[in-house]
Amino acid sequence: MTMLRPTELAPVPGAQEMLVNLGPQHPATHGVLKVVLGIDGERVTRAVPHIGFLHRNHEKIEESRTYHQVIPYLDRMDYVSGLQNELPFCLAVEELAGIEVPERAKYLRTALFELNRIISHLVWIGTYMLDLGAITPFLYAFRDREAALDIVERTTGGRMLPNYFTFGGVRRDINPRFWQELTGFVDYLEGVLPEYEALTVEAPVFRARTVGIGVLPPAMAINHGISGPMLRASGVAHDLRKDQPYDAYPWLDFEVITRREGDSWARSKLRCQELYQSIDLIRQCARKAPRTGPYLGKGRLKIEAGRQRYRAVEASRGQLGVYLYSDGGPGPYRSKHRSPSFTNLQVLPDLFVGQRFSDVIAILGSMDIVLGEVDR
Amino acid sequence: MSETTLDDQVRKLALGVETVYHAQSPAAYRRLGERLYGAGYDFPQCLSGVDMEYGLRAVVNLRRLRDQAEVTLWLDVAYEAPQVPTLCDLWGGLEWHEREAYDLVGLHFSGHPDHRRILLEDDWTIHPLQRRYDTGGYLIPEWRPKPWPEAADSDQAPVEAAEAVTPKEAETGPSELSQLKSLSAAFAAKLQAQGITSLKALAELSDEALAPLATAIGLKSAAAVAKWREQARQLREGA
């Protein structure tokens, strides 16, 4: 969160420029993002993002917590997909401490990880449509998300802040009807998704507002560390579920989805395709997961001094990683969280400048950021 | 810094499953960054600042999308001179990560185009992730810096950094020695400094000369020189 420098206020040559504050209280900035926009008529001449309004410095708090005490803080980074935040930290600690995860726990974590992706994408589709002026898809998406959150709540005890994954598996056993409920939900969702798709990404008005808007070239996406649906919509087939498989992903059958266009519409369509993919992955988990067995592996949580690890997973917004450094103590000496929204937001000026003012929200919404993990 | 000294400026560590290149000077860090970029490490994953209590450390995690290879780069700097060369002209994705490392940890990135705080206010006075501050942002009275750790022990093999990260680099090396596949440009230059300037000279080395030569160019064992000699002989027979 910074003040504008004099150079940022200097006029752009040849432009009759007006400075406009987008946010931090603008509803379409999904949290508290402030972007100072320079506009010349309808064209955006500059964009300066300001972040940090939600900064809580989890990383400093984590210095004085034990490994187990860190996990609840992770839920609060990306509050839309809390379960996903816990996984990279658990994987890093498991690798450093040499804790084995039982097969059943791996399938459980993978199924819940994919369920969280569905929840996250449903929030995205609802709020994006709201940004663009459509009310009804928002109501549908949040109604269905509630059904998914109910499953999470019955399993973990928490709706959005589950505190469920732990080192070596999950914290407590599932209820006996878990897989039945889960497959029931994805069966229902698969039935209604085509209708949502027709209402949203395939709707003529939506296409008119997003096709060819905010095109992100693949070389720029890679160089800026863009990940997740934003990267894959630009035609780069990078997905950590395939490229660095963790938990049960090596045993599941799926393809990395990519699209060539790289515009806002491609990013939207790709997320819809990922919803179908998540449904399929959850079904595979439900079919293959062992019904009996331990849900928590045994092992001693002791990490030697000087050990370090960067471990990342493919969360719904992209590469969610944690850099962990241990001094041999009971908690992390340093843990840096690499959140996908923070890194993806860096290309915002490149995508905004030159576009029309009315397209700014259409581009920002298609990036799918959560300010909780941008500011951490 | 010349090409030939980069190997001496970088230590390669194997920490568990990860391989780490520990640059011993800011110039080596920058040069190694350029080499890694040239070697196809195209995806910037993360840049973290760590307060080591004797100084600050910059940690860069890179990935090569072609084969999903990962590499980690370290640089330790003193509290009094926390200057780190920027890498964000190579990987644009590190720009905000470097700003965050400056904001929270206190590393200074020389050459950064937009060196400002990013999460905290501009007029914030401390770097909160330094260990000398408690969670309230106050100085811990009993905090004392630790002594700087000892330099690398002498029996550690020098890093063939150039060789490990840029297999193609050898082709640009000087003289016909560059035809040897496993010989890096840096080691080729070292061999030349010892008077081995051609494939013929290398192929005609005697067994007794191997060990002193290995010591002279900074290798732990003579096996690598013997391997190069074997390759030189094969090349000469082929020609």
- Between CA A242 and CA A251, with CA A247 as vertex, the angle to 5 degrees is 60
Q: Going edge to edge, which strands form the sheet with A305-315?
A: A305-315, A318-327, A334-338
Are residue B45 and residue B69 in the same domain, yes or no? yes
Work out the pLDDT band at A108, boundaries 50, 70, 90: very high
Residue extents of the structural domains in chain A: 66-375
Asked whether the beta carbons of residue A226 and residue B93 sit closer than 8 angstroms, the reply is: yes
- Please report the pLDDT score of residue B4 as a whole number: 42
- Please report the pLDDT score of residue A115 as a whole number: 93
Q: Which residues pair with B85 in a beta bridge?
A: B110
Sequence-distant (≥ 6) Cβ neighbours of residue A177 within 8 angstroms? none
User: How close A356 comes to chain B (CA, Å)?
Assistant: 25
As a whole number, mean pLDDT of residues A91-115 equals: 90
Of B49, B51, B118, which is closest to A52 when you measure between CB atoms? B118
- Please report the pLDDT score of residue A189 as a whole number: 92
Are residue B158 and residue B171 in the same domain, yes or no? no
- Tell whether the model's pLDDT for residue A271 goes beyond 50: yes
Looking at B133, B162, B191, which one is the last position of a domain?
B162
As a whole number, mean pLDDT of residues A273-290 equals: 92
Q: What confidence tens digit (pLDDT) does each residue in A238-269 have?
A: 999 988 888 889 888 899 999 988 899 999 99
Strand ranges in A73-183 using DSSP code E only, listed in sequence order: 165-166, 169-170
Express as a percent the part of chain A with pLDDT over 90: 40
Rg (CA), chain A: 21
Interface test with B, best of A59, A94, A216, A224 (most B CBs within 10 A): A224
State the residue for tokens 């993978």: A110
State the residue for tokens 């969702």: A189
Are residue B234 and residue B222 in the same domain, yes or no? yes
User: How close B135 comes to chain A (CA, Å)?
Assistant: 6
Domain that holds residue B23: 1-162
Q: Please tell me whether residue A280 adopts helix, strand or coil conformation.
A: helix
Higher pLDDT pick, A110 / B232: A110
* B89 at interface of A, judged by CB pairs closer than 8 A: no
State the residue for tokens 């980069």: B6
- Please report the pLDDT score of residue A88 as a whole number: 93
Asked whether the beta carbons of residue B45 and residue A63 sit closer than 8 angstroms, the reply is: no
Are residue B28 and residue B116 in the same domain, yes or no? yes
Classify domain A66-375 by CATH number: 1.10.645.10
- Please report the pLDDT score of residue B12 as a whole number: 66
Are residue B192 and residue B152 in the same domain, yes or no? no
- Tell whether the model's pLDDT for residue A98 goes beyond 60: yes
As a whole number, mean pLDDT of residues A102-119 equals: 92
- Tell whether the model's pLDDT for residue B39 goes beyond 90: no
Asked whether the beta carbons of residue B45 and residue A319 sit closer than 8 angstroms, the reply is: yes
Asked whether the beta carbons of residue A2 and residue B117 sit closer than 8 angstroms, the reply is: yes
The number of C-beta contacts closer than 8 angstroms across A and B is 115
Sequence-distant (≥ 6) Cβ neighbours of residue A190 within 8 angstroms? A276, A279
Compute CA A87 distance to the chain's CA centroid, rounded to the nearest angstrom: 13
Encode chain B in three state secondary structure: CCHHHCHHHEEEEEECCEEEEEECCHHHHHHHHHHHHHCCCCEEEEEEEEECCCCEEEEEEEEECCCCEEEEEEEEECCCCCEEECCCCCCHHHHHHHHHHHHHCCCEEECCCCCCCCCCCCCCCCCCCCCCECCCCCECCCCCCCCCCCCCCCCCCCCCHHHHHCHHHHHHCCCHHHHCCCCCHHHHHHHHHCCCCCHHHHHCCCHHHHHHHHHHHCCCCCHHHHHHHHHHHHHHHHC
- Please report the pLDDT score of residue B156 as a whole number: 42
Q: Is the dihedral of CA A277, A281, A283, A287 positive or negative?
A: positive
**Helical axes A103-131 vs A264-288, angle rounded to 10°:** 150
Are residue B154 and residue B172 in the same domain, yes or no? no
Cα Dmax for chain A: 71
Question: Running DSSP on this structure, what letter comes out for residue A24?
Answer: S
As a whole number, mean pLDDT of residues A356-375 equals: 88
Q: What confidence tens digit (pLDDT) does each residue in B168-220 have?
A: 333 333 456 766 766 766 677 677 767 777 777 788 888 888 877 877 776 76
Cα Dmax for chain B: 72
As a whole number, mean pLDDT of residues A40-65 equals: 88
> Residue type for B143, please?
W
As a 3-state breakdown, chain A gives helix, strand, coil percent values, each rounded to 5, of 50, 15, 35
Question: Running DSSP on this structure, what letter comes out for residue A173?
Answer: P
Higher pLDDT pick, A1 / B88: B88
Distance between CA atoms of A370 and A85, rounded to whole angstroms? 12
The two three-digit tokens of residue A220, written as one number: 């720029």
Asked whether the beta carbons of residue A222 and residue B128 sit closer than 8 angstroms, the reply is: no
Distance between CA atoms of A247 and A252, rounded to whole angstroms? 10
B 142-171 near A (Cβ less than 8 A): none
Work out the pLDDT band at B154, boundaries 50, 70, 90: very low
Work out the pLDDT band at B239, boundaries 50, 70, 90: low
Are residue B154 and residue B170 in the same domain, yes or no? no
Are residue B58 and residue B89 in the same domain, yes or no? yes
The answer to whether residues A345 and A54 touch, using CB atoms and an 8 Å cutoff, is: no
Distance between CA atoms of A340 and A235, rounded to whole angstroms? 18
- Neighboring chain B residues of A55 at a CB cutoff of 8 Å: 119-120
* B76 at interface of A, judged by CB pairs closer than 8 A: no
Express as a percent the part of chain B with pLDDT over 90: 14
Are residue B176 and residue B102 in the same domain, yes or no? no
Are residue B127 and residue B147 in the same domain, yes or no? yes
Q: What confidence tens digit (pLDDT) does each residue in A2-50 have?
A: 556 655 666 667 767 788 888 787 777 777 888 888 888 888 888 888 8
Q: What confidence tens digit (pLDDT) does each residue in B112-124 have?
A: 888 888 888 888 8
Q: What confidence tens digit (pLDDT) does each residue in A296-323 have?
A: 888 888 888 888 889 999 999 999 999 9
The answer to whether residues A344 and A369 touch, using CB atoms and an 8 Å cutoff, is: yes
Asked whether the beta carbons of residue B72 and residue A310 sit closer than 8 angstroms, the reply is: yes
- Neighboring chain B residues of A34 at a CB cutoff of 8 Å: none
Work out the pLDDT band at B7, boundaries 50, 70, 90: low
Looking at B110, B133, B162, which one is the last position of a domain?
B162
How many domains does chain B contain in total? 2
* B33 at interface of A, judged by CB pairs closer than 8 A: no
Looking at B118, B134, B162, which one is the last position of a domain?
B162
Asked whether the beta carbons of residue B129 and residue A238 sit closer than 8 angstroms, the reply is: no
- Please report the pLDDT score of residue B5 as a whole number: 53
Is B51 exposed, middle or buried (CB count within 10 Å of its CB: 0-12, 13-18, 19+)?
buried
Are residue B152 and residue B193 in the same domain, yes or no? no
Interface test with A, best of B53, B118, B122, B138 (most A CBs within 10 A): B118
Q: Which residue of A has its CA nearest to B18?
A: A309
Q: Going edge to edge, which strands form the sheet with B56-64?
A: B10-15, B18-23, B69-77, B56-64, B43-51
The two three-digit tokens of residue A122, written as one number: 């449903």
- Neighboring chain B residues of A308 at a CB cutoff of 8 Å: 15, 18, 20, 59, 72
Tell me the average pLDDT of chain A: 88
Are residue B201 and residue B155 in the same domain, yes or no? no
